């Protein structure tokens, strides 16, 4: 039995070698992505017992993802392979300021997640469920699946963890705001970044954003602030966690690494404060290498670098 089930869409990642622009790139390094899959890997590398629930194709990219989870020791019992399905992929193009992502996922098996597909027994018997706004954006049936999964989890007393991961390209902003806001009211633990917090509250200052999110009801809220670290709200108190100073080269997946590290610590019995302190270190280490998954640190590496600052 697993302690944590992550539910969502995984993707295979293509990263141009030497940062060539996509229209002329000839060589790509291949990695893995998909926010909830990244969270599963991060939680697992921090010691949690993790299962991943998703739908992928029976194609080569589905095989590659399946091998990733198996190699990491992530339970794949809830991974459904769709016959003739084409697993989603994405390309990264990088300029000095930021990364841009080009997705080919519109007909992926994960878009056909639905309430009937939701693995109810597993969600009832695990300790935490992690879901994200990306799954709510990719299709109506996937959005319905997320709400059904939350309903099952709440009914069973399974902790509901939510990362809004708002991706404006995937859905209209008004609908995104409404759906994400509703989900925040239902979740126990919510881990947005600052722009998502601003979208939800209409406020600018991180402390104001956080206070308003607390009013929506989650027991634990972490507001992720990039290189400025994170703010935690729990038990009526707000605590700031500075990010260790690192020479970041690629922050892809840093938010997901934060989520997974935080969840693993929480499930191991750490207080939300200790979990946040650990997670800012895990997330900072994730920015030191290219891609989402490869640089996610193991627990031993996180513990070693906690003396960084
Ligand atoms: N340059 C950096 N230096 C140190 N830590 C960082 C840096 N960038 C991000 N982090 C860490 O990663 C966490 C998450 O980053 P960020 O606020 O960008 O989340 P996000 O926008 O959800 O990320 P994602 O793109 O994965 O969705 C931060 O709270 C911080 O702890
Ligand atoms: Mg994020």
Q: Where are the domains of the chain?
A: 4-10+35-85+112-295
Largest CA distance in the chain: 53
**pLDDT tens track of the chain, all 309 residues?**
899 999 999 999 999 998 888 999 999 999 999 999 999 999 999 999 999 999 999 999 999 999 999 999 999 999 999 999 999 999 988 765 677 889 999 999 999 999 999 999 999 999 999 999 999 999 999 999 999 999 999 999 999 999 999 999 999 999 999 999 999 999 999 999 999 999 999 999 999 999 999 999 999 999 999 999 999 999 999 999 999 999 998 888 999 999 999 999 999 999 999 999 999 999 999 999 888 899 999 999 999 987 644
Task: Name residue 94's beta-bridge partners.
Answer: 99
Query: Cα(256) to centroid of ligand 2, in Å?
Result: 6
In 3D, which of 36, 143, 160 has the Cα closest to residue 88?
36
Residues 128 and 97: their CA atoms lie apart, in Å, by: 36
Test site for ligand 1: of 41, 251, 280, most ligand atoms within 8 A of the Cβ? 251
Cα(299) to ligand 1 centroid in Å equals: 18
What kind of fold does domain 4-10+35-85+112-295 have according to CATH? 3.40.1190
Determine which residue's CA is closest to atom 3 belonging to ligand 1. Answer: 227
258 closest CA partner among 219, 220, 291, 297: 297
Residue located via tokens 């622009």: 21
**Which is it for strands 237-241 and 230-234: parallel, antiparallel or unpaired?**
antiparallel
Contacts of 70 (CB under 8 A, 6+ apart): 76
Contact between 253 and 282 under an 8 Å Cβ cutoff? The reply is: no
For residues 279 and 261, the answer to whether their CB atoms sit within 8 Å is yes
Distance 83 CA to ligand 2 centre (A): 31
pTM: 0.97
């Amino acid at each position: 039995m697993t302690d944590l089930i992550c539910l969502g869409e995984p993707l295979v990642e293509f990263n141009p070698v030497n940062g060539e622009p996509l229209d002329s790139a000839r060589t790509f390094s291949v990695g893995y992505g998909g926010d909830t899959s990244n969270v599963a890997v991060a939680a697992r590398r921090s010691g949690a017992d993790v299962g991943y629930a998703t739908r992928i194709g029976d194609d080569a990219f589905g095989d590659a993802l399946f091998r990733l989870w198996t190699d990491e020791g992530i339970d794949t019992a809830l991974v459904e392979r769709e016959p003739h399905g084409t697993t989603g992929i994405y390309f990264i193009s990088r300029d000095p300021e930021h990364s841009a992502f080009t997705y080919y996922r519109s007909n992926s098996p994960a878009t056909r997640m639905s309430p009937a597909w939701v693995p109810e027994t597993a969600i009832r018997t695990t300790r935490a469920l992690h879901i994200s706004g990306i799954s709510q954006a990719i299709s109506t049936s996937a959005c319905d699946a997320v709400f059904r999964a939350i309903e099952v989890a709440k009914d069973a007393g399974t902790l509901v963890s939510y990362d809004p991961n708002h991706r404006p390209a995937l859905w209209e902003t008004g609908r995104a705001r409404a759906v994400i806001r509703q989900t925040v009211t239902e979740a126990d633990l919510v881990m947005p970044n600052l722009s998502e917090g601003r979208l939800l509250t209409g406020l600018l200052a991180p402390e104001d954003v956080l206070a308003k999110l607390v009013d929506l009801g989650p027991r634990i809220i972490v507001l992720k602030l990039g290189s400025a670290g994170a703010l935690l709200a729990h038990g009526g108190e707000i605590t700031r966690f500075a990010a260790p100073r690192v020479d970041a080269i690629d922050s892809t997946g840093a938010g997901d690494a934060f989520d997974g590290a935080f969840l693993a610590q929480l499930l191991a019995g750490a207080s939300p404060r200790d979990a946040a302190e650990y997670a800012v270190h895990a997330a900072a280490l994730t920015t030191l290498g290219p891609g989402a998954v490869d640089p996610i640190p193991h627990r031993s590496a996180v513990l070693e670098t906690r003396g960084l600052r």
